[in-house]
Amino acid sequence: MTAKKATKQYVYFYGFGKKHTEGGAGDKAIIGGKGANLAEMALADLPVPPGFTVSTEACAYYSKNGQKYPPNMQAQLKQKLGKLEKKKKKKLGDPRDPLLVSVRSGAAVSMPGMMDTVLNLGLNDKSIHGFMKQIGNERAGWDCYRRFIDMFGSVVMGPTTGLEHEHFEHELDRLKKKYGAAEDTDLTANQMKEVVEAYKKVYAKKVKKPFPQDPFQQLDLSIRAVFGSWTSPRAEKYRQINKITGLLGTAVNICTMVFGNLGDDSGTGVAFTRDGSTGDFEPMGEYLINAQGEDVVAGIRTPKNLQDMPKEKDPIWKKAYKDLNVIMKRLEMHYKYPQDVEFTVERGKLWMLQTRNAKRVGLAGVRWAVEMATAKDVVTGKSQPKVLTPKEALMTLQGSDLEQLLFPIFDAASEKKAKVFGTGLPAGPGAAVGHIVFTAADAEAMVKKDPKAKVLLVRHETSPEDVGGMWAAQGILTSTGGMTSHAAVVARGWGKCCICGAGGMRIDYRNKTVSNGKKTLKEGDWLSLNGSTGVAYEGQLPTQSSPVVAAIVSGNKTAAKHPYYKMYKQISDWSDQFRKINVRTNSDTPADSKAGRAFGAEGIGLCRTEHMFFEGDRIWAIREFILADNKNGREKALAKLLPYQRKDFEGIFAAMKGLPVTIRLLDPPLHEFVPHGASDQEEMANRLEIPKEFVASRVQQLHEFNPMLGHRGCRLSITYPELCVMQTRAIIEAAINVEKRRKTKVIPEIMVPLIGTKAELDYLATIIRQTADAIIKAKKSKLKYLVGTMIEIPRAALTADEVAESADFFSFGTNDLTQMAFGYSRDDIGTFLPDYLNEKILPHDPFQSIDVSGVGQLVEMGVRKGRDSKPGLKCGICGEHGGDPASVKFCAKVGLDYVSCSPYRVPIARLAAAQAAIKG
């Protein structure tokens, strides 16, 4: 005989203490965050109105099975409702003493605004009279009924009928005007009854049915509305924006009503255990007397500051304030995080309706973490309760929280009033203000003429040739390109504000204008960019700089005393204490290297030599190399480049003071270094004293249909070995010079880019080692160096065991690896990525956060196979993913030795590495 299968539970009761409460804080996945926290507060014997929660599993079943409830759910619902009625000694819909409930949504992760609350469910034309008799307040009774009709109509029936809150508000305003009432609280009982009748007519007109009088039908329709809200466009958009995946659905919370609108001894409010804007230790919040929950946030009445509560005339408010503060402190200690609570005071008694981890800005989050673990206010120095350990404090943070401490920001009041010009991708956080220019040359010229000039470079896109102007500009705005486009990568490396992919903007280079809709700005006009949000504003907005950057990069001693810097340093120190993976920086100049080291980088993971070729006369030497038609001519041109490269490397080695420096040999295709316009080609011909026809012909020869898969990377040095020789010579001679002059150790790591076969690496590694060894011998040096490769072609990862035989290290170039694994152009993905995200074809931009199941598998395979062939092989990552917290945690998991990222992302990577180690 088979055992009877247990009935799956879909409805969970809470309230009346531990004996009757099912679930708790650990059950968020099943009963949602709101339900779990209500149960947890009930277990702690806090004043929580009792109720029950319909699980997220029920929602999942409903969504997948044609909007049908799972088996036994309705029976469980009736059983829990019966228990609630018995304990409260009231019945839903009872004309003499009705039980009224609220209905709310509550997923495992807080999603504000997914579905609004329905209050006072259970009222109808009969139960309203019993309710008014019980509360002894006829006006409050009609007020509750009209609120219920409004909320039920707009929240439950609105999505399918078009009935909105404004339809009801129109009638309320009409009757307030009719009776000369300034506020809804000024309406009498009979006048409020008239509002109810008007609301019922609004409902019937839109819904084509009378307002439902059966309370069980009211409850059923409300539960279905909550379940349906899970797949609403706004809920799906919220989850997409916040990268929330893997949830079953939303729970439904049915809670006994408590009333804040019964008179001057009743009210409702919202409070935070700490300030979510400044991080201040003191609680903050708002409340209203003689009101229900939605009034506080609806803007119908102006709420009062929480600190005014004990000053109210009625002494019950002083006690309510005291009780609230005791409970909030208790909740913060219990949840080990500042809480956002909702409360109602009903005739002097405080009831807690909700608690959840408080939303906050990054600055507040960092301050909370530091103060809760050090038990000391970073501003005043006063003692506080110790809530967290340093490990726990780090786990409360996100990389974006630290980021907000590093970049200049706009004055909040000014930004709120500013006129929005357009929006794009927030590619380089911070704020920038300047005059619009449309060419890199103009940007450089303006700043050269006046070093204090502030310009913003506005382009369709940028290229390596624009770096001078990009550096001169305060910020960069492009109409195309994504988060890993050239403009975005370079800007982040410099800590420079940047907005990319502002597709609504039309840039006219000829007339030097940029337009968005009917608004056109011309060269020289002021523009303000918020790189943290991707919003561009007309005009000149005031900014405030980051004291953290001033203290770290500039060595400003005053800034080092600022609370921001103290918080930053404490988080960074804790991160270094716990992390196991190293963090390097991507750097191409001595200045970048110093900044990266100041931010805590433990070496350079990627030095891109091509960026050095665009400064001053260097560009002419590389162009001479490109135009040379024989080896002798190429070597002559490269000889002019050699001292420049050597000097650059000396500056970088000196800045890193004994830390390893990975230098990538020339990678981009040669066409990026030559002019494509006729006038520029003529200038090149005159400068190099060659026919302009020859220049045009050579430029045409360099044209490729797909340059990113063309003659670039190791292929250049295989075709022109003399290029590899020159770069190796510059690296090794610079290292020897710095060791000799500065008496400091130098650790050069020479990296061959874009190999797909072991043979390619073998060919160039032989040249590198022969060249390096000959110089070291001639200089009588003991310099040690490494020769490795970038793993950025899928075939290299698949054959990593073979490649490792010839490599001293691997560095995974995940930008190109992602590009080739997916077959997506990282510069063109913006044309279809929004559709892929909207349709859930991709969970996120794979160029921002590593694709673990695909690209990640290639990385993991490359590490494993490489170390199988060469145990202890050093492996790192140098793509933009090295600064993405989720990607850093993946890198730590698969055993990489280090990640490398832009200088201003180093603190974020250090934090993510520590979190990966703590999580284990």
DSSP state of 511: T
Q: Which pLDDT value is given to residue 1?
A: 44
- Region 665-693: mean pLDDT is 86
Residue 195's nearest CA partner among 141, 152, 248 is 141
Q: What is the mean pLDDT of residues 708-734?
A: 95
Q: What is the pLDDT of residues 437-479, one digit of tens each?
A: 999 899 989 998 998 899 999 998 887 668 788 888 999 999 9
Cα separation of 43 and 47, whole Å? 10
**pLDDT given at position 709:** 87
In the block, tokens 């204090």 appear at: 452
Distances (CA, A) of 599 to 104, 583, 596: 46, 10, 5
Per DSSP, the three-state class of 101 is strand
d(CA 422, CA 519): 10
* Owner of token pair 């029976």: 75
486 is catalytic: yes
Q: Determine the Cα–Cα distance for residues 670 and 914; give it in Å rounded to an integer.
A: 41
Q: Which residue among the candidates 167, 435, 486, 671 is catalytic per the annotation?
A: 486
pLDDT range class, residue 837, cuts 50, 70, 90: confident
Band (352; pLDDT cuts 50, 70, 90): very high
**Using 50, 70 and 90 to split pLDDT, how confident is the model at 136?**
very high
Please report which confidence band the pLDDT of residue 4 belongs to, taking 50, 70 and 90 as the band edges.
low
Tell me the average pLDDT of the chain.
Answer: 91
Per-residue burial over 443-464, b if 16 or more Cβ lie within 10 Å, else e, is bbbbbeeeeebbbbbbbeebeb
Specify the pLDDT at position 241.
60
**pLDDT of 218 strictly over 70:** yes
| 888 pLDDT higher than 50 | yes
What's the DSSP call for residue 777? H
As a whole number, mean pLDDT of residues 47-59 equals 96
Whether 685 shows a pLDDT value over 60: the answer reads yes
In this prediction, residue 220 carries a pLDDT of 97
Instruction: Compute the distance between CA of residue 365 and CA of residue 277 in angstroms, rounded to an integer.
Output: 9
Give the type of residue at 439.
Answer: T
Pairing outcome for strands 431-437 and 526-530: antiparallel
Partnered with residue 700 across adjacent β-strands are: none
Q: Report yes or no: 789 and 796 within 8 Å, Cβ to Cβ.
A: yes
- In 3D space, the residue among 308, 14, 261 whose CA is nearest the CA of residue 148 turns out to be 261
How many other CB atoms sit within 10 Å of the CB of residue 85? 14
Average the pLDDT over each of 105-109, 372-376, 576-580 and give the range with the smallest value.
105-109
Q: Which residue has the higher pLDDT, 592 or 760?
A: 760
**Which residue out of 878, 881, 891, 901 is catalytically annotated?**
878
Structure tokens at 435: 């005059």
The CA distance from 915 to 57, in Å, is 30
CA atoms of 594 and 117, how far apart (whole Å): 54
Q: Are 364 and 279 in contact (CB under 8 A)?
A: yes
Q: What is the pLDDT of residues 569-597, one digit of tens each?
A: 999 999 999 999 999 999 998 989 999 99
- Alpha-carbon distance 636 to 626, whole Å? 12
Averaged pLDDT, 906-916: 95
Strands 786-791 and 51-54: unpaired
**Percent of the chain at pLDDT exceeding 90:** 69
φ/ψ (deg, to 5) at 402: -65, -35
Residue 170 bears catalytic tag: no
Between 524 and 117, name the one with better pLDDT: 524
Residue 849 CA, distance from chain mean position: 11
